[in-house]
A = this chain, B = another copy of it.
Amino acid sequence: MSMKKFINDPADVVREALAGLAAAHPELRVDLDEQYVARADAPRPGKVGLISGGGSGHEPLHAGFVGLGMLDAAVPGEIFTAPVPDQILAATKAADAGAGVVHIVKNYTGDVMNFQLAAELADEEGLRVEAVLVDDDVAVEDSTWTAGRRGTGATLLVEKIAGAHAEEGADLAAVAATARTVNDRSASFAVALTAGTTPASGKPGFDLAADEIEVGVGIHGEPGRRREKLRPAKELAELIVDAVVSAKPLAGEPLIVLVNGLGGTPQIELYLMYAEIARLLTAAGATIARSLVGNYVTSLDMAGLSLTVCRADDELLRLWDAPVRTPALRWGA
């Protein structure tokens, strides 16, 4: 939650960071005019395209997940601001090889509206688009920026698993169905210890007392369920696991578990919390089949973390394990 930042003009942060992404990753094609990031080899002949996007400030989501086995293109809006329809349309075209494009949309009002407008524009140009809504955050039913549940950490799982399905040649309906299955089987819950600071405001997005936490916080710092006193890691893990387990029964099927830092929490704390969370999930009768620990769906420099669990099956695990080669997620390729 630093008020000090490595920036020039706050209005130029997203564009200048995209220039850095382009310079560091020649395997990506960054269109600085249309403001989207695509695989350099997109569109891939015969392959269903997969794109996602949303406000910036959640890096590496989404541009860090562009590459083999995951997204074909990503559309970063300004910080915490939905991308505009023209931008989404340009990325849709960049990802389209004639087999159609899946839009993975986190459930925020602005994103939903602008992806829908872009899909209509794409339809007018003869492209086939299937939109998949991600709404995994069980903290609140409606929120400041949302009708219905918010889309958070499960977005990574949806992009990875549906991306693998697209990579191996599944058709538009099948890739969209896989994406919806992953979302339906996932649940997330987050806790903030501090607020993140946007470049434009230069101050924390909300106020928390020195001994307070926001329970069920959103990835833009929007309010969760309640404020509580800070407690030991063991108790915070109980609070988080209880919230997820009471929303989704977990016993039985194998889980994919993501313990995700919100940006400002050191990795040593994330692993400490993973130990607590894994113990509690196992005690609740769950079987952890796969896990991922790190900063993947962030809120600038917010100190905090989210837990995402997905009730998988053999097929979803197979797709999770499939090769992926992106700036932020990479294995088997």
> Is there an interface contact between B330 and A20, defined as CB atoms closer than 8 Å?
no
Asked if A14 is an interface residue, CB under 8 A from chain B, the answer is: yes
Nearest CB in chain B to that of A293: its residue: B24
Asked if A59 is an interface residue, CB under 8 A from chain B, the answer is: yes
| A4 contacts across to B, CB distance below 8 A | 193-194, 210-211, 213, 230, 303
Please give the distance in Å from A34's CB to the nearest CB on chain B: 18
A23 to B255, CA, bound (A): 14
A265 to B305, CA, bound (A): 16
Asked if A275 is an interface residue, CB under 8 A from chain B, the answer is: yes
Q: Which chain A residues numbered 184 to 208 have a C-beta less than 8 Å away from chain B?
A: 193-194, 196
> Is there an interface contact between B272 and A2, defined as CB atoms closer than 8 Å?
no
> Is there an interface contact between B21 and A271, defined as CB atoms closer than 8 Å?
yes
A252 to B17, CA, bound (A): 27
> Is there an interface contact between B13 and A268, defined as CB atoms closer than 8 Å?
yes
> Is there an interface contact between A268 and B194, defined as CB atoms closer than 8 Å?
no
> Is there an interface contact between A19 and B331, defined as CB atoms closer than 8 Å?
no
* Total number of A residues with any Cβ neighbor in B under 8 Å: 63
> Is there an interface contact between B24 and A269, defined as CB atoms closer than 8 Å?
no
A20 to B64, CA, bound (A): 25
Q: Which chain A residues numbered 297 to 333 have a C-beta less than 8 Å away from chain B?
A: 298, 300-301, 303, 305, 325, 330-331
Q: Which chain A residues numbered 219 to 253 have a C-beta less than 8 Å away from chain B?
A: 230, 232-234, 236
- CB < 8 Å neighbour of A303 from B2, B259, B292, B298: B2
> Is there an interface contact between A272 and B7, defined as CB atoms closer than 8 Å?
yes
| Highest count of chain B CB atoms <10 Å: which of A3, A196, A292, A303 | A303
> Is there an interface contact between B267 and A298, defined as CB atoms closer than 8 Å?
yes
Please give the distance in Å from A291's CB to the nearest CB on chain B: 5
> Is there an interface contact between B8 and A59, defined as CB atoms closer than 8 Å?
no
Asked if A273 is an interface residue, CB under 8 A from chain B, the answer is: yes
Please give the distance in Å from A61's CB to the nearest CB on chain B: 10
> Is there an interface contact between A20 and B301, defined as CB atoms closer than 8 Å?
no
- CB < 8 Å neighbour of A268 from B14, B210, B236: B14
Given contacts A6-B270, A20-B275, A20-B276, 4 further A-B contacts (CB under 8 A): A4-B303, A8-B232, A24-B292, A330-B330
